[in-house]
Amino acid sequence: MVRAAVLRERGGPITVDEIVLPDPGPRQVRVRLAAAGVCHSDLSLANGTLRQKTPAVLGHEGAGVVVAAGAEVTRVSVGEKVVLNWSPSCGTCWFCREGEPYLCEHTDDAAAEPYATLTDGTPIYAALGTGAFAEETVVGERAVVPLPADTDLERVAILGCAVLTGAGAVFHTAGVRKGQSVAVIGLGGIGLCAIQAARIRGAETIIGIDVTSEKGDLALEHGATAFVPAGDEALTAVRELTGGRGADHVFDCVGGSATTRTAWNASRRGGTVTVVGVGAKTSTVEFSALELFWFGRTLHGCVYGSTDPDRDVPELLDLARAGRLDLDALRTATTDLHGIDEAFAALGDGRGARTVIRIASGGGPQ
């Protein structure tokens, strides 16, 4: 048995309980978690914005050490450090063969069936197939990416979602180029990663936009050249900062009708809008046929930053080692499994960027 933070019903509190994990089956591994990040998607799963069967162990952004491996496992070995990949690709479906592993047909397979039980035998689900808010989890071998032996797991836990998604949106989905202008709406962990990625790509103007003024200092620390408070004057401010045109690229890292519409309006004619945040099914955005023609903008959806974790995690680690990507600055709070409800409250209030749950010793310099 291991301790895990369990959501027993939608909208209910998180309780730390013991769960019973099975031994890893064929092509599965058991991972002892060192740390996990608290993502807004976890909050959306907890409050019912995103569908989730319960009881469930939330958490999809984490890192740890492989402590057991089932038959036929070839990607990792027992004792190896890994980061979780909540969107594992099968490698064989049409999307994977087309080089789009983030759209794999089988990504959700592991989340659809119970993966463990409560001590009374009640089946329990792993949210997004990972269940990272626990001392240990069992996942498919393709749901982990191996890390160098000297990696500090607590520092890199957020790689599995915030960094891959935010940086990937800039690097891959939108393809930001040197000298372009970028605006980022929503300065949580993903939005701040997008700002860092825009800086790395050499964007000339990088504008952070958020409803919380304290996020302005965070944005500037991560590489923004300006901060604009969200509200009625935001569009005017963005245009003033971009020669009256609007930004070349606007990233909606919130995901909702209001922010997506703001992102669209803040983009220049011929610009690109990338929706990174996950909104509710009932949240809709309307465009007139004329404006679609006249403005010539491109509207992108963005799943997992259009990334291939096997390729991108090593590249992001190299950027971190070179001091170009600041992982430490993304963590604005640290807690344990008992502090998840407070971390959710901070997300809801717009406080900080990323809370990291310290589960076990991360070990080793990064």
Residues 343 and 218 in one domain: no
Residues 278 and 343 in one domain: no
Residues 120 and 93 in one domain: yes
Give the three-state DSSP class for 103: helix
Within 10 Å of residue 282's Cβ, how many Cβ atoms?
7
104 found inside a domain:
yes
Residues 230 and 347 in one domain: no
Q: Which of 272, 270, 266 is nearest to 293 (CA)?
A: 270
- pLDDT in the model for residue 294: 95
Residue 255: which CATH number?
3.40.50.720
363 found inside a domain:
no
The string of DSSP codes covering 149-211 is TT--HHHHGGGGTHHHHHHHIIIIII---TT-EEEEE--SHHHHHHHHHHHHHT-SEEEEEES
Q: Which tokens in the block code for residue 181?
A: 């202008």
Residues 121 and 196 in one domain: no
| 290-322: pLDDT as tens digits | 999 999 999 999 999 999 999 999 999 999 999
Residues 34 and 141 in one domain: yes
Residues 146 and 170 in one domain: no
- pLDDT in the model for residue 366: 35
Residues 60 and 182 in one domain: no
140 found inside a domain:
yes
- pLDDT in the model for residue 361: 46
Q: Which of 323, 353, 349 is nearest to 208 (CA)?
A: 353
Bridge partner residues of 3 (DSSP): 18
Q: How many residues does the chain have?
A: 366
First and final C-alpha spacing in the chain: 31
- pLDDT in the model for residue 135: 96
Residue 61's domain spans which residues? 2-162+306-358
Cα angle 303, 106, 340; round to 5: 60
260 found inside a domain:
yes
Residues 18 and 119 in one domain: yes
Q: Which of 182, 317, 331 is nearest to 253 (CA)?
A: 182
134 found inside a domain:
yes
Bridge partner residues of 65 (DSSP): 32, 81
CB 311 within 8 A of CB 304: no
Q: Which tokens in the block code for residue 73?
A: 């496992």
Residues 158 and 94 in one domain: yes
Residues 144 and 192 in one domain: no
Nearby residues of 118 by Cβ (< 8 Å), 6 or more positions away: 6, 17, 18, 19, 20, 55, 124
Q: What values do phi and psi take at 276, rounded to 5?
A: -100, -40
- pLDDT in the model for residue 362: 41
Q: Which tokens in the block code for residue 154?
A: 């607590």
364 found inside a domain:
no
- pLDDT in the model for residue 363: 40
296 found inside a domain:
yes
**Own/partner long-range contacts of 224-228 (Cβ < 8 Å, ≥24 apart):** 224/184, 224/195, 228/183
Residue 18: which CATH number?
3.90.180.10
Q: Give me the numbers of helices (H) and strands (E) for the chain, helices first please.
A: 11, 18
Q: Into how many domains does the chain fold?
A: 2
- pLDDT in the model for residue 48: 81
Q: Is the pTM of this model over 0.75?
A: yes
337 found inside a domain:
yes
Residues 97 and 129 in one domain: yes
User: How many CA atoms lie less than 13 Å away from 291 in the CB half-sphere?
Assistant: 10
Which residues in the chain come in under a pLDDT of 50? Answer: 361-366
- pLDDT in the model for residue 364: 38
